[in-house]
Amino acid sequence: MSRRNRKYAVPGVERGMQSFKAEVMKREGYDVDPNHPDDVKYEVAKELGVPLKPGGNGNLTTESAGQIGGKIGGSMVREMIRLAQQQLSNRSE
């Protein structure tokens, strides 16, 4: 899978998002290198039985790629929702 050009709505948040991904995936039980948090996709792929390897992965189905991204992205979204709910409940106190 080639690294796509991500465009965040808020300029300058790239490093923070990568740190957040590393933190969330560590809590999920994955071994994450904080300097290369995107590499966690290989560990997730292995767990799911998806033959992902560095370089070209043109043979992967959309479904297989989605399983990997869904596992990572889903974990991040759940954590963002939890944090937002926590902030909202702290405001009302």
The reply to whether 66 falls in a domain is: yes
Cα dihedral value 57, 77, 13, 8, nearest 10: 60
Domain interval for residue 87:
14-91
pTM of the model: 0.76
Residue-wise DSSP of 45-63: HHHHT----SS--TTS-HH
pLDDT tens per residue across span 34-78: 889 889 999 999 999 999 988 888 889 999 999 999 999 999 999
How many domains does the chain contain in total? 1
The reply to whether 3 falls in a domain is: no
- Express the helix, strand and coil content of the chain in percent, nearest 5 each: 60, 0, 40
Q: Which amino acid is at 36?
A: H
